[in-house]
C-alpha cells in the first residue's frame, strides 16, 4: 500500500496510489493520515480497502508529506562505508545519531530555499524508516515489527553550519525545507527486505549518488533497536538511515554545492521519486 497526502500546503487530503498508479481519495474513510491516531491497526484497515471503489483523483496534484504525527525526525550519520571514506571520517563503531528539526519537513517536490548566505548546501538521498508502534528498548529481532513502512528522504545539509560553526551537526540539518519526505509511505509488507534497495540522486540531470542499502554499516533493524534505547520512538517518527557516496562535499578535487536554479531528483526502488528546485 502506498499512502499519500495531496493538495495545497496545509490543506492536504488523504489518498493512496492503487496498483495501476492512480491516485485515489481516502477522505470518506479517514480525514487524516495521522499515524499516532491511526496506529498499526488503522493502517492495517486501510490496507484491506478495495482501492478500485475509492474516488479517482484526476489531474496533476501537489503531493505533501504522506503522513502526519511526526514527533521526531532522527538522522544517522556516516552509515555507508564509502560515504565515510569520501567525508574523510572513520567508519563508526556505533550509530551516529543527530536530530533534524520537525520544522524542516517538506513535501517531496517542494522547492528548497537556500539559507541566507549559504555556500555549502548539499544533498543526501536516504531511506526513511517510519515507526508504526511505540518502540522502547526493542531487540533487533523484534525491531521491524515496530516499523509501519518506508519512504524517500532527502537529508539536505548545510555543511558549513554542520561542521565549521561549532557544536553538533543538528545546526546544519534543520533549516526550513531541509527534510523532504515522500512521495509515498510504502507499507512494510511491500518492502520484504529493506537491505536490498537501490538509491539514486541526480543534480541537473547529472548522476551524483548511486548506492544500495545492502552497504549500510548498521541495518534497519539495528538502527531501530539502537535508537529505541536512546529515546522512545512513537508512531509517525522517522529515522533517516544515512546516505551512500556521491554527496557534493565529497567531489574531488573541488566540492560541488547547490545553487539557485539547480534541480535535484532522487529516488529509491519501489518507494517513488522526488524533484526539488533550489531557490535563493
Q: Using a pLDDT cut of 90, give the percent of the chain over it.
A: 91
Q: Is residue 240 part of a domain?
A: yes
Both 252 and 139 in one domain: the answer is yes
**pLDDT above 90: residue 84:** no
* Per-residue model confidence (pLDDT) at position 1: 95
**Total structural domains within the chain:** 2
Both 89 and 14 in one domain: the answer is no
The predicted model scores a pTM of 0.96
**pLDDT above 80: residue 171:** yes
Q: Is residue 128 part of a domain?
A: yes
Both 198 and 261 in one domain: the answer is yes
**pLDDT above 80: residue 167:** no
Q: Is residue 210 part of a domain?
A: yes
* Per-residue model confidence (pLDDT) at position 27: 96
Model pLDDT for residues 100-149, shown as the tens digit of each residue: 999 999 999 999 999 999 999 999 999 999 999 999 999 999 999 999 99
From 41-45, 76-80, 112-116, 181-185, the region with the lowest mean pLDDT: 41-45
**pLDDT above 80: residue 152:** yes
Average per-residue pLDDT in the chain? 96
Model pLDDT for residues 215-241, shown as the tens digit of each residue: 999 999 999 999 999 999 999 999 999
Q: Is residue 6 part of a domain?
A: yes
Q: Could you give the C-alpha distances from 70 to 28, 65, 75, 252, 270, in angstroms and in order?
A: 23, 10, 13, 37, 22
Q: Residue 37 sits in which domain range?
A: 2-53
Both 7 and 39 in one domain: the answer is yes
Question: What gap in Å lies between CA 34 and CA 210, rounded to an integer?
Answer: 32
Q: Is residue 10 part of a domain?
A: yes
Q: Is residue 61 part of a domain?
A: no
Question: What gap in Å lies between CA 194 and CA 209, rounded to an integer?
Answer: 18
Q: How confident is the model at residue 50 (pLDDT cuts 50, 70, 90)?
A: very high
Q: How confident is the model at residue 91 (pLDDT cuts 50, 70, 90)?
A: confident
Between 271 and 41, the more confident residue is: 271
List the CATH number of the domain containing 273.
Answer: 3.90.850.10
* Per-residue model confidence (pLDDT) at position 168: 84
* Per-residue model confidence (pLDDT) at position 275: 98
Instruction: Report DSSP letters for 141-208, one per residue.
Output: HHHGGGEEEEEEEE--EEHHHHHTSSS-THHHH-STT-EEB-S-EEEGGG-S-TTS-EEEEEETTEEE
Amino acid at each position: 500500500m502506498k499512502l499519500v497526502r495531496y493538495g495545497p500546503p496545509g490543506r492536504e487530503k488523504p489518498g493512496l496510489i492503487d496498483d495501476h498508479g492512480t491516485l485515489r481519495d481516502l477522505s470518506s474513510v479517514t480525514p487524516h493520515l495521522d499515524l499516532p491516531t491511526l496506529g498499526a491497526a488503522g493502517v492495517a484497515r486501510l490496507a484491506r480497502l478495495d482501492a478500485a471503489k475509492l474516488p479517482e483523483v484526476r489531474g496533476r496534484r501537489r503531493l505533501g508529506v504522506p503522513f502526519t504525527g511526526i514527533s521526531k525526525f532522527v538522522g544517522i550519520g556516516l552509515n555507508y562505508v564509502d560515504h565515510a571514506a569520501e567525508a574523510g571520517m572513520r567508519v563508526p563503531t556505533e550509530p551516529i545519531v543527530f536530530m533534524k528539526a520537525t520544522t524542516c519537513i517538506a513535501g517531496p517536490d517542494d522547492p528548497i530555499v537556500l539559507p541566507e548566505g549559504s555556500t555549502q548546501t548539499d544533498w543526501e538521498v536516504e531511506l526513511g524508516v517510519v515507526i508504526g508502534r511505540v518502540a522502547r528498548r526493542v531487540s533487533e529481532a523484534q525491531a521491524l515489527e515496530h516499523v509501519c513502512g518506508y519512504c524517500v528522504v532527502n537529508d539536505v545539509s548545510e555543511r558549513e553550519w554542520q561542521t565549521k560553526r561549532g557544536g553538533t551537526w543538528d545546526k546544519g540539518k534543520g533549516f526550513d525545507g531541509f527534510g523532504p519526505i515522500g512521495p509515498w509511505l510504502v507499507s512494510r509488507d511491500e518492502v520484504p527486505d529493506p537491505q536490498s534497495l537501490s538509491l539514486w540522486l541526480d543534480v541537473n540531470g547529472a548522476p551524483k549518488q548511486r548506492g544500495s542499502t545492502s552497504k549500510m554499516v548498521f541495518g534497519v533493524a539495528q538502527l531501530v533497536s539502537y535508537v529505541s534505547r536512546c529515546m522512545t520512538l512513537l508512531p509517525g517518527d522517522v529515522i533517516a538511515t544515512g546516505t551512500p557516496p556521491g554527496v557534493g562535499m565529497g567531489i574531488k578535487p573541488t566540492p560541488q554545492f547547490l545553487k539557485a536554479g539547480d534541480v535535484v531528483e532522487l529516488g529509491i526502488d519501489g518507494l517513488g521519486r522526488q524533484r526539488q528546485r533550489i531557490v535563493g
